[in-house]
């Protein structure tokens, strides 16, 4: 599997584990130096995992749209737009940028920017 296909699969699994609040599975995607940034927060890995475990999710389900993955060799950038599929409002779109790094024999997320 090439890097773009791998990142696409990881991204899909990321979303599923986020909704399931499966902290152990979710942690397996994160590099030790992972940083999450949004309009309101900056979390390191430990704080972000607490956020996931608490289930602080603003929607019950969403669809991934407009996923664009760029492979830079040992780093890949995943930009995506997601839509709350439980809402009729167009304002329920959000975008995120996820940075992946290949180290050893696996891809790990090193940074996430979420425009929540």
> What would the mean pLDDT of 67-81 be, rounded to a whole number?
92
**Nearest alpha carbon to residue 52 among 108, 112, 93, 95:** 112
Q: What is the pLDDT of residues 16-63, one digit of tens each?
A: 777 776 778 888 999 999 999 988 889 999 998 888 777 665 545 556
Residue 116 has pLDDT above 90, yes or no: no
Which pLDDT score, from 0 to 100, does residue 32 have? 96
> What would the mean pLDDT of 57-82 be, rounded to a whole number?
78
Which pLDDT score, from 0 to 100, does residue 37 have? 94
For each of the domains in the chain, give its residue range(s) and CATH number, in order of start. Answer: 3-114 (3.10.450.50)
């Amino acid at each position: 599997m090439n890097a773009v296909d791998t990142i696409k699969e990881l991204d899909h699994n990321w979303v599923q584990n986020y909704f399931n609040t499966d902290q152990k599975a979710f942690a397996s995607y994160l590099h030790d130096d992972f940083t999450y940034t949004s309009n309101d927060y900056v979390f390191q890995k430990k704080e972000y995992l607490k956020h996931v475990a608490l289930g602080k999710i603003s929607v019950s389900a969403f669809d991934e749209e407009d996923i664009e993955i760029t492979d830079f060799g040992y780093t890949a950038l995943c930009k995506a737009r997601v839509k709350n599929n439980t809402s009729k409002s167009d304002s329920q779109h959000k975008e995120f940028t996820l940075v992946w790094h290949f180290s050893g024999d696996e891809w790990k997320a090193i940074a996430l920017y979420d425009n929540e």
